[in-house]
């Protein structure tokens, strides 16, 4: 049995699987309340594990990029479980999870590429480009989207854009070969095949030293009226 935890975006989800089959899933789309929800979802998953008289063999966590706070919550929870149950930790890149979701929900014979995008700020996104076999064509990066973005690919083939960073790009990337897929979120459910593969290949990370992949350093923001107020003092 493997426990999957995904907290990289506004969505919070937990799943429990046995030999690749889903046993338990809990998802909340209600916003950034991961600190309260993730632990509760995990507790319910563990109760289901006990009900089935199972034994936890690994914990998989979405490793980023994504929300700084969300990633911290998910990874901290996963580490605690790994220490408590003495099981290995599996780290699954968030954009891999997102791309897996899109590829399997929008399969095509056109040779399309798949561009996973997570919202950063303004016109910036965290993105990665994959082929239909989930092989990276371009690895994860932070980029500012312009009208020229991905034109080298769009001149040759269809590119599917998805994730919470893709919506704001729809008015900028206007190629007829650009396809925007709605309703794609990285979910714990979609981590299951990726976690199973990592477990079979023994691709574990060090529980003590593993940190989420933030891609960029966390920047705290200060409200504009607070700044103006300080300047007047």
More confident residue, 121 or 45: 45
CATH number for the domain spanning 111: value is: 3.30.420.40
Q: How confident is the model at residue 217 (pLDDT cuts 50, 70, 90)?
A: low
Give the per-residue pLDDT at 108.
76
The CA dihedral of 131, 27, 5, 60, to the nearest 10 degrees, is -50
Dump pLDDT digits (tens) for 75-125.
999 999 999 999 999 999 999 999 999 999 887 777 899 999 999 988 899
Q: What's this model's pTM, rounded to 2 decimal places?
A: 0.89
The answer to whether residues 21 and 65 belong to one domain is: yes
In a domain, 18, yes or no: yes
Residues 167 and 157: their CA atoms lie apart, in Å, by 20
The answer to whether residues 6 and 116 belong to one domain is: no
The answer to whether residues 127 and 173 belong to one domain is: yes
Residues 118 and 124: their CA atoms lie apart, in Å, by 9
Domain that holds residue 153: 95-180
Alpha-carbon distances, residue 198 vs 114, 131, 224, 227 (angstroms)? 22, 20, 45, 47
3-state SS assignment for residue 92: strand
In a domain, 223, yes or no: no
The answer to whether residues 6 and 89 belong to one domain is: yes
Give the per-residue pLDDT at 215.
81
Is the separation of the CB atoms in 18 and 57 below 8 Å? no
The answer to whether residues 79 and 156 belong to one domain is: no
Alpha-carbon distances, residue 65 vs 18, 36, 85, 109, 126 (angstroms)? 27, 21, 26, 29, 7
Helices (H) and strands (E) in the chain, counts: 6, 10
Residue 232 in this model has a pLDDT that exceeds 90 = no
Dump pLDDT digits (tens) for 115-163.
999 999 888 999 999 999 999 999 999 999 999 999 999 999 999 999 9
The answer to whether residues 89 and 110 belong to one domain is: no
Give the per-residue pLDDT at 31.
74
Dump pLDDT digits (tens) for 159-191.
999 999 999 999 999 999 999 999 999 999 999
Q: How far apart are the first and last CA of the chain?
A: 59
The total number of structural domains in the chain stands at: 2
């Amino acid at each position: 049995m493997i426990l999957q935890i995904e907290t990289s975006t506004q969505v919070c989800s937990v799943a429990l699987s046995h030999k690749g089959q889903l046993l338990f899933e809990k998802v909340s789309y209600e916003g950034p309340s991961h600190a309260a929800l993730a632990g509760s979802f995990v507790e319910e998953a563990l109760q289901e594990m006990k009900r089935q008289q199972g034994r936890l063999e690994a914990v998989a966590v979405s490793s980023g990029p994504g929300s700084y706070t969300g990633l911290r919550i998910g990874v901290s929870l996963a580490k605690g479980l790994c220490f408590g149950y003495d099981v290995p930790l599996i780290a699954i890149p968030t954009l891999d999870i997102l791309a897996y979701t899109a590829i399997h929900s929008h399969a095509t014979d056109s040779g399309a590429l798949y561009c996973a995008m997570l919202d950063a700020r303004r016109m910036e996104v965290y993105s990665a480009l994959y082929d239909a076999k989930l092989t990276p064509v371009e690895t994860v990066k932070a980029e500012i989207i312009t009208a020229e973005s991905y034109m080298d690919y769009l001149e040759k083939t269809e590119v599917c854009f998805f994730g919470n960073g893709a919506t704001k790009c729809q008015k900028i990337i206007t190629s007829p070969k650009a396809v925007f897929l709605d309703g794609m979120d990285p979910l714990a459910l979609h981590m299951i095949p990726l976690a199973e593969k990592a477990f079979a290949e023994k691709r574990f990370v060090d529980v003590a030293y593993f940190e989420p992949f933030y891609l960029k350093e966390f920047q705290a923001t200060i409200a504009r009226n607070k700044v103006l107020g300080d300047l007047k003092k």
